[in-house]
Chain A
Amino acid sequence: MGIVQALKGSGAGQVADVATKVTGIQLVGKQLAGAAKSISWVMVVVGVIEFILKNVFGYGQLITVLSIILFIMAGFALAARLGKDKLAIFIPMTLFVIWYFLYGATFDPAFLAVYLSIGFGIMALFGVISKGESVISSFAGFIPCLVLLVDVGYLALLVDKVGIPVTNFMIGLLKYMPWWAFFGVMTLPTEEGGRGNALIQLTRIAGIVYIVFVLIAPVFPNVGREELNALPGFAEAQQAQIDLQEQLSTCENEQRNYRLSCIGQSFGKIFDFSTSSSGETFSVDNCVAEKMKECEIDYQCLTQQGLQVNNDNKAKPAYQECKAGFTAKGGQNVIGIKDETIKEAMTAVFSDRKSLSGQYRSGDFLHPIDFTVVNPRNDEFNVLFSCEFTSTTDSKLKVPGTIIASGAQGNLLTVKDKSVKSTVACKPQLNLAKGKYKVDYQAELQGIQSFARLQRAFIVPQASEQEREELIKRIMQLHFPGQKYLSQAPAGLFEVQWSFGQEDAPIVESGDILPLAIVLRNTGQGKIETVNWYRVNMDGFSTDPADCLAGGNIAVPKDTTVAKVDLNFCYITGLPIDLSTLSQDYAYREYTAEANLNYLIKATDNVEVLEINPGATPVEISSEGGGAI
């Protein structure tokens, strides 16, 4: 009520009642100050911030610090809520902190027997001192400990380690539950404790509504979905496909979930008695990298063969064969990752004009469509447009169209700028008869380029195997975390992907004969027409055959949309002198591979000729492929 009045006061600009404004601000300030006195309310605020930061930036030191602060706040919040024997709450919390941080959360049975005995002994002592009143508080102190465990991924551990089924309910909890804020809401003071503070009451209501939403939303599978009453336009479908492909191809959207799962696994190591004595250290980063690699392989082996990513398709021989190819050494099934240092992707799309009905009262008309190119590297290339009308009633009845494109010379548009938009109109070369037609547009992008970077470290034979392993371990940690050993290409219509040496072992030892493979992946919606040229910039390396680092004019099958073009496979037989005799422990180098190709993008729209222009001679469409009078 107070807030409403305050807001009314502050929002009444028309009446310009300064006194009311000041009162309103004061009231809001008073409410804030009142709410801030409740540690639970502060916890809700900090808990929400922690949840947002965690979801945006992932787990990090800041999140760890915030979690610990929230853990301590939770003790005070709980103490304030219970109202009596506050100190007893901190006994299990203190014991938990000592066990977790000082003793490394050990599950050594002998230690636990002693430790828990001491712990319960202290709790019993307090129980005796307080004549039994502190027992409830003592056990309540375990709640913040549980919330801390859940917040850092214990639920994910249960999913991952124990193998409990991942229900929608659980996904809701894993993804959307801000545990500390939830704890804060649950411990907010009651009417008497909060002294009727409106902000606390609002927070309670908002918190409960959100929690209820998290809990029940997964029950309704169609929440957030639009009804599909009609087929979407092609531009919309294109965009959806791009979105889906981006989601699947990068696997980055899954990275947060992988990290959550891996943090859960790392937690699981605490409980894993069978491996606790092995001395192996569990790396969350390596775990995420493994899962990302699996995801990339799934993407390459399923989506680019036109299959959906699901377990049924993973049982198919094509998938198995493809996956086996990825794991085979030296094969041409190289994969790459997106270059994270390049944010803008190259795109080229047709988009229809929704404002146009596509209905014409003459057989001689211009039907426009928009063509947009995003060219982040300011490359220069040409776009050759063409179009054609096809009767919807008889697909053999075709009339060629003439292109009139803005900014183009005839049907040839030269792209140099970072962003180019052209209106491309198609005019039938002959008057069309009454009827419905499909308009097919084509844009051939001539000479578009891309590249991929690849890093490798070179070592010379070491004095001992142990020194060699130590050096390799150090190099891997420093230069090749995650999937950095794969080639990195900017997002675009196609990607260059390549490798040399063993794909997952980026350390090159002098004397090795190294396989080199380079492929192109079609990551756009169009078709790779011709590969004009490619080259691998590795001066000073000897190869077998000698000319394997460059090539060109590679034909691509005409009638299919090719997902992958194999460019070359050969062997590196010799290193440059500066890499075969090193002055330091190792040398770290980056190489690039480039490719230039022609790429075809198509789009289709529908038009209808309603009646023939009285002044024009109607066209009878021939079924011989071209138009005729």
Chain B
Amino acid sequence: MKKTISMKKIISCSCIFLIALLITGCSGSTQTSGVTTNYKIGNGDLNVKLIDNAPPSEIFPGAEFKIIAELSNQLAYDAKNLDVVITGLEPGYFQVYPLEQKIALIQGKSITNPAGDKEMLEFSGNAGSLVKSAQYYTNKYLLQTNYDSTMEFQDTVCINTDLYGVNDAGCKVQDKLSYPGQGAVLAVSKMEQVVISGSSAGMQFRIYLTNRGQGKLKLVTLDKSELGGEALDCQFQGEVDKPLEYDFKDKQTALLLCDAAISEQISYQTILALDFSYHYELNKEYQLKIVNPNAALVS
């Protein structure tokens, strides 16, 4: 009898687990392919944080303090033209110098530099006075980091303009492909292939770009687009004047359309390669707090 109950439990547990797995796993299949290096896969980001106790969580009136920002490049690409700015401090309470610092380059992760480079930035500060009988003053501020970086995408795709498959039994065009990211905040998340058959046969690649980072993607530029070493005719959807540039503004996704004229009648596999450069803005909120030493003693 005991054995039967424990078997029942095991079966029940397994059922719940499997069904939960089934339900939670239904969010869409992800197909990984076309990754050229270990680092250029998944999501990468430029990690910005303040180191512990710089600044201290509570500062006494008139005291000096340091704000030390650590920038760790966890992208698979270099971050360039970094500009770190502290915004939103009330100068009557907090005098911080400098409020802006620049770094030319922080190297990203690579085979020779698997951890990515780190840089420290130091800002010196002086706390002002509290208003009479105030126990504390808090001031939230932004640590804004702007930088430029790049992203490379490569995948082997099947070129086959024969919709009916009568000419050969070669590769099959996969009309929808998903990608886990290319090691950057800008990611090609999925791609659709549309076959245009007939006299002017060709293929259209619909490439979906996504912001996978914590900040805001600004201007994205398509620097290179090749199919089997030959240039593709690409355009960001809706961009007429500058078809190879797209300003994400507050959007999270963008669509790039690339057309290729295909003269071959037989199917074959070839490399689709796209290189992007982009500008990125990362805002992190922090807080400085002046406390009344007498109040601190009481507490």
List chain A positions with a Cβ less than 8 A from chain B.
87-88, 90-91, 94, 98, 102, 115, 118, 122, 125-126, 129-130, 339, 341-344, 376-378, 451, 453, 455, 466, 470, 474-475, 478-479, 490, 583-586, 588-590, 592
Contacts of A490 in B (CB 8 A): 133
**A87 and B12 within 8 A (CB):** yes
Contacts of A586 in B (CB 8 A): 87-88
Partner of B140, one of A88, A115, A479: A479
| Residues of B in contact with A, size category | 35 or more
Distance of A344 Cα from B295 Cα, bound (Å): 12
**B283 and A590 within 8 A (CB):** no
Contacts of A88 in B (CB 8 A): 12
8 cross-chain CB contacts under 8 A: A94-B16, A94-B20, A122-B15, A343-B135, A455-B90, A584-B85, A584-B87, A584-B99
Contacts of A588 in B (CB 8 A): 88-90, 139
Distance of A409 Cα from B136 Cα, bound (Å): 37
**A102 and B24 within 8 A (CB):** yes
Distance of A94 Cα from B17 Cα, bound (Å): 10
Known: A91-B16, A584-B87; 12 extra A-B contacts, CB below 8 A, are: A102-B24, A115-B23, A125-B15, A129-B8, A341-B134, A342-B133, A376-B133, A470-B250, A583-B99, A588-B88, A589-B92, A590-B90
B176 within 8 A of partner (CB): no
Distance of A194 Cα from B166 Cα, bound (Å): 78
Contacts of B88 in A (CB 8 A): 475, 478-479, 586, 588
Distance of A592 Cα from B250 Cα, bound (Å): 36
B261 within 8 A of partner (CB): no
Contacts of A130 in B (CB 8 A): 8
Taking the closest CB of chain A, its distance from the CB of B238, in whole angstroms, is 15
Contacts of A90 in B (CB 8 A): 16
Distance of A342 Cα from B135 Cα, bound (Å): 6
| With contact pairs A87-B9, A341-B135, A342-B134 given, residues A585 and B19 touching in the complex (Cβ less than 8 Å) | no
Interface contacts (Cβ under 8 Å), in number, total 82
B132 within 8 A of partner (CB): yes
| With contact pairs A466-B249, A588-B88 given, residues A118 and B133 touching in the complex (Cβ less than 8 Å) | no
**B24 and A474 within 8 A (CB):** no
Contacts of B93 in A (CB 8 A): 590
Q: What sequence of 0s and 1s flags, for each residue 43-87 of chain B, a beta carbon within 8 Å of any chain A beta carbon?
A: 000000000000000000000000000000000000000000101
Contacts of A479 in B (CB 8 A): 88, 140
Distance of A590 Cα from B140 Cα, bound (Å): 13
Contacts of B8 in A (CB 8 A): 129-130
Taking the closest CB of chain B, its distance from the CB of A511, in whole angstroms, is 21
Partner of B16, one of A115, A122, A341, A377: A122
Distance of A112 Cα from B8 Cα, bound (Å): 29
B266 within 8 A of partner (CB): no
Taking the closest CB of chain A, its distance from the CB of B236, in whole angstroms, is 18
**A98 and B24 within 8 A (CB):** yes
Contacts of B141 in A (CB 8 A): 478
Q: Closest residue of chain A to B136, judged by CB?
A: A341
B285 within 8 A of partner (CB): yes
**B11 and A129 within 8 A (CB):** yes
Taking the closest CB of chain A, its distance from the CB of B118, in whole angstroms, is 26
- Ranked nearest first, the 4 interchain pairs of A and B with the lowest CB-CB distance are A377-B132, A341-B134, A376-B133, A377-B133
Which residues 16-44 of B sit at the A interface, judged by CB distance below 8 A?
16, 19-20, 23-24
Taking the closest CB of chain B, its distance from the CB of A95, in whole angstroms, is 9
Contacts of A592 in B (CB 8 A): 131
Contacts of A377 in B (CB 8 A): 132-133
Q: What sequence of 0s and 1s flags, for each residue 175-195 of chain B, a beta carbon within 8 Å of any chain A beta carbon?
A: 000000000000000000000
Contacts of A589 in B (CB 8 A): 90-92
B231 within 8 A of partner (CB): no
**B134 and A585 within 8 A (CB):** no
List chain B positions with a Cβ less than 8 A from chain A.
8-9, 11-13, 15-16, 19-20, 23-24, 85, 87-93, 99-100, 130-137, 139-142, 144, 249-250, 283, 285
**A466 and B90 within 8 A (CB):** no
Partner of B142, one of A102, A455, A466, A478: A478
Q: Closest residue of chain B to A453, judged by CB?
A: B131
Interface centre among A115, A341, A586, A589 (most CB of B within 10 A): A341
**A126 and B140 within 8 A (CB):** no
Distance of A478 Cα from B20 Cα, bound (Å): 39
Contacts of A583 in B (CB 8 A): 99
**A585 and B87 within 8 A (CB):** yes
**A122 and B87 within 8 A (CB):** no
Contacts of A343 in B (CB 8 A): 135
Taking the closest CB of chain A, its distance from the CB of B18, in whole angstroms, is 10
Contacts of B13 in A (CB 8 A): 87
Contacts of B16 in A (CB 8 A): 87, 90-91, 94, 122
Q: Closest residue of chain B to A591, judged by CB?
A: B92
Distance of A470 Cα from B281 Cα, bound (Å): 13
Distance of A299 Cα from B92 Cα, bound (Å): 33
Partner of A478, one of B136, B137, B285: B285
Contacts of A584 in B (CB 8 A): 85, 87, 99-100
Taking the closest CB of chain A, its distance from the CB of B193, in whole angstroms, is 29
Contacts of B250 in A (CB 8 A): 466, 470
Distance of A118 Cα from B92 Cα, bound (Å): 61
Distance of A470 Cα from B23 Cα, bound (Å): 37
Q: Closest residue of chain A to B17, judged by CB?
A: A94
Taking the closest CB of chain A, its distance from the CB of B85, in whole angstroms, is 6
| With contact pairs A342-B135, A343-B135 given, residues A129 and B140 touching in the complex (Cβ less than 8 Å) | no
Partner of A126, one of B12, B139, B142: B12
Q: Closest residue of chain A to B144, judged by CB?
A: A585
**A341 and B137 within 8 A (CB):** yes
Partner of B23, one of A118, A125, A455, A466: A118
Q: Closest residue of chain A to B131, judged by CB?
A: A453
Taking the closest CB of chain B, its distance from the CB of A504, in whole angstroms, is 20
Taking the closest CB of chain B, its distance from the CB of A118, in whole angstroms, is 7
Contacts of B15 in A (CB 8 A): 122, 125-126
Distance of A126 Cα from B15 Cα, bound (Å): 9
Distance of A576 Cα from B53 Cα, bound (Å): 35
Distance of A130 Cα from B23 Cα, bound (Å): 24
Contacts of B90 in A (CB 8 A): 455, 588-590
Taking the closest CB of chain B, its distance from the CB of A433, in whole angstroms, is 49
Contacts of B100 in A (CB 8 A): 584
Q: Closest residue of chain B to A578, judged by CB?
A: B91
